[in-house]
């Protein structure tokens, strides 16, 4: 099982991830953890770094080709080995990449979801989209000591959040796979989301792996 946590910066992904991982460890549930990109192609990495900094590619098609290449490498060299050992939780994955591309390039987000969903070996079995209000996300980010990154100002965050919603719709339409949408604004939300994810993991056989 591949579980992907998605949402804008400050939505609560890291907090939810850490809660799930800690509970899984206490219950002796095998659960791996992986990031969004592979970083295994120099050319793709250059494109991704530029996109994450808010710099749209001169050629949008090349940007899509780069992130798709990275996703293919990620699936082959990182996701597959990890999934052969058991369930894996990904801190962002396809929806985040598609939303970033749509934010920077003049194409509907569904177009990018379609392109990336074709990498079937990287499809998450369940996506959890944190729909925390952008205003709250920005307030959380303002308390962090790190410098604000691209997409973390309030106006861009609001647009980004809307793109995530559209991406989730497109994902289910293209793949037929579920997207669980819920805010992570309170401790109750966190408890509820972590419990929902852990219930899915508990239902898997002890030696669950994905070929």
167-186 pLDDT per residue, tens = 999 999 999 999 999 999 99
As beta bridge partners, residue 101 has none
Does residue 211 form part of some domain?
no
End-to-end CA distance of the chain: 10
Sign of CA dihedral 16, 22, 27, 31: positive
Can you give the residue range of the structural domain that contains 183?
2-202
pLDDT at 106: 81
Q: Give the separation between CA 67 and CA 41, rounded to whole angstroms.
A: 10
pLDDT at 172: 98
pLDDT at 211: 54
Does residue 87 form part of some domain?
yes
Does residue 145 form part of some domain?
yes
Domain count along the chain:
1
pLDDT at 209: 63
Share of the chain above pLDDT 70, in %: 98
Phi, psi of 93 (to 5 degrees): -160, -120
Residues 136-177 have pLDDT tens digits of: 999 999 998 888 888 899 899 999 999 999 999 999 999 999
pLDDT at 129: 98
* Residue 126 buriedness (CB in 10 A; 0-12 / 13-18 / 19+): middle
Does residue 207 form part of some domain?
no
Q: Give the separation between CA 103 and CA 173, rounded to whole angstroms.
A: 21
Does residue 210 form part of some domain?
no
Instruction: State the CB neighbour count (10 A cutoff) for residue 85.
Output: 14
pLDDT at 72: 98
Residues of the chain with pLDDT under 70: 207-211
Does residue 9 form part of some domain?
yes
Mean of per-residue pLDDT scores for the chain: 94
The answer to whether residues 51 and 104 touch, using CB atoms and an 8 Å cutoff, is yes
pLDDT at 139: 95
CATH of residue 36's domain is 3.40.50.300
pLDDT at 108: 96
DSSP 133: -
Does residue 84 form part of some domain?
yes
Residue among 89, 95, 109 at smallest CA distance from 14: 89
Does residue 209 form part of some domain?
no
């Amino acid at each position: 099982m591949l579980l992907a946590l998605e949402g804008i910066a400050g939505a609560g992904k890291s907090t939810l991830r850490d809660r799930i991982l800690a509970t899984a460890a206490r219950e002796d549930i095998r659960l791996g953890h992986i990031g969004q990109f592979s970083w295994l192609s120099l050319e793709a990495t250059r494109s991704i770094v530029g996109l994450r900094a808010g710099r749209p590619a001169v050629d949008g098609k090349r940007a899509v080709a780069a992130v798709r290449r990275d996703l293919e490498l990620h699936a082959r060299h990182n996701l597959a080995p990890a999934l052969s050992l058991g369930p894996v939780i990904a801190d962002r994955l396809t929806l985040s990449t598609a939303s970033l591309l749509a934010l920077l390039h003049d194409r509907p987000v569904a177009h990018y979801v379609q392109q990336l969903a074709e990498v079937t070996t990287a499809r998450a079995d369940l996506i959890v989209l944190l729909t925390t209000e952008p205003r709250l996300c920005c307030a959380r980010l303002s308390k962090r000591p790190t410098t604000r990154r691209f997409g973390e100002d309030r106006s861009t965050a609001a647009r980004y959040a809307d793109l995530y919603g559209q991406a989730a719709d497109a994902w289910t339409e293209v793949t037929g796979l579920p997207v669980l949408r819920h805010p992570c604004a309170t401790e109750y939300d966190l408890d509820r989301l972590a419990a929902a994810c852990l219930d899915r993991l508990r239902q898997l056989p002890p030696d669950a792996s994905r070929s």
